A and B are shown apart, each in its own frame.
Chain A
Amino acid sequence: MNDILHPPAPRGDLAVDAHGLVKTFGGQGSSAFRAVDGIDLQVARGEVYGVLGPNGAGKTTTLSMLATLLPIDGGHASIFGVDVTANPHRVRQLLGVTGQYASVDENLTATENLVLFARLLGHRRKGAATIAADLLESFGLTEAATRQIKNFSGGMRRRLDLAASLIARPPLIFLDEPTTGLDPRTRGQMWDTIRELVEQGSTILLTTQYLDEADQLADRIAVIDAGRKVAEGTPEQLKSGVGSSTLHLRLADRDQTAAAAAVVERTLGEPPVLTPEAGGLNVPLADADRAADVLIALRQADLSITTATVRQPTLDEVFLALTGHHSEPTDTDQNEEVA
Chain B
Amino acid sequence: MTTLIDPPAHAAVPVAVDGLATRPSLRETVDQTLAMAWRATKKMRRNPEQFFDVTIQPLLFTAMFAYIFGGAISGSVKDYLPLIIPGILAQTALTSSMAMGTQLREDMDKGVFDRFRSLPIARIAPLAGPALADIIRYTIASTLTILVGLAMGYRPGGGFLGTLGGWLLTIVAAWSLAWIFTWLGTVARSAQAVQGISMMIMFPLTFLSNAFVPASTLPGWLEAFVKVNPVSHVVTACRDLINEGQVTTEVAWALLGCAIVVAIFAPLAVRSYSRKI
Give the B-binding residues of A (Cβ under 8 A).
12, 15, 44-48, 67-71, 80-82, 87, 89-90, 92-95, 97, 99, 101-108, 112, 116-117, 119-122, 148, 164, 168, 171, 198-203, 219-220, 233-237
- Identity of the chain B residue whose Cβ is nearest the Cβ of A109 in the assembled complex: B42
Whether B10 and A119, one on each chain, are in contact in the complex, defined by CB atoms closer than 8 angstroms, is no
Known: A69-B118, A70-B277, A171-B13. 19 other contacts (CB 8 A): A44-B7, A69-B117, A81-B17, A90-B17, A92-B120, A93-B20, A94-B17, A97-B114, A97-B115, A99-B114, A106-B112, A107-B43, A116-B38, A120-B36, A121-B119, A121-B120, A199-B10, A201-B12, A233-B4
Q: Which of these binds chain A: B27-35, B76-84, B135-143, B198-206? A: B27-35
The main secondary structure of chain A at its interface with chain B is loop
A116 to B113, CA, bound (A): 13
- Kindly list chain A residues whose C-beta atoms are within 8 Å of the C-beta of B24: 89
Total A-B residue pairs with C-beta atoms closer than 8 Å? 130
- Identify whether the interface residues of B are mostly helix, strand, loop, or mixed: loop
Tell me if A201 and B10 are in contact (CB < 8 A): yes
Task: Assess the A219–B115 pair: CB atoms within 8 A.
Answer: no
B217 within 8 A of A: no
B15 on interface, CB distance cutoff 8 Å? yes
Complex CA gap A108/B277 in Å reads 24
User: Is B68 an interface residue when CB atoms closer than 8 A count as contact?
Assistant: no
Bound state CA distance, A48 and B121, in angstroms? Answer: 27
Contact B46 A148 (CB under 8 A): yes
State whether A105 touches B12 (Cβ < 8 A): no
Q: A241 CA to B35 CA in the complex, in Å?
A: 52
**Residues in A neighbouring B28, C-beta threshold 8 A:** 122
* Structural contact, B115 and A89, CB atoms closer than 8 A: no
Q: Which residues of A contact B17 (CB under 8 A)?
A: 12, 80-82, 90, 94
CA distance A144 to B177 in the complex (A): 40
Given contacts A119-B31, A171-B13, contact A101 B21 (CB under 8 A): no
Chain B residues with CB under 8 Å of A108's CB are 39, 42-43
> With A and B bound together, what is the CA distance between A220 and B6 in angstroms?
11
Contact indicator per residue, chain B 1-20, by CB within 8 Å of chain A (1) or not (0): 11111011011110101001
Residues of chain A within 8 A (CB-CB) of B119 are 92, 117, 120-121
Contact assessment for B22 and A102 in the assembled complex, using a CB-CB cutoff below 8 Å: no
Q: Does B48 make an interface contact (CB < 8 A)?
A: no
Complex contacts, B39 vs chain A, CB 8 Å: 105, 108, 112, 116
The minimal Cβ–Cβ distance linking A274 to chain B, given in whole angstroms, is 34
Contact between A89 and B118, CB atoms less than 8 A apart: no
Residues on A with beta carbons closer than 8 Å to the beta carbon of B32: 119-120
Residue in A closest to B39 when the chains form the complex, CB atoms: A116
Chain A residues with Cβ below 8 Å from B113 are 103
Cβ contact within 8 Å between B12 and A203: yes
Q: Which of A44, A67, A116 has the most CB of B within 10 A?
A: A116
A201-B13 in contact (CB<8A): yes
Some 7 contacts from A to B, beta carbons below 8 A apart, are A105-B112, A108-B39, A112-B42, A120-B119, A202-B13, A203-B12, A219-B8
Report the separation of the CA atoms of residues A202 and B7 in the bound assembly, to the nearest whole angstrom: 14
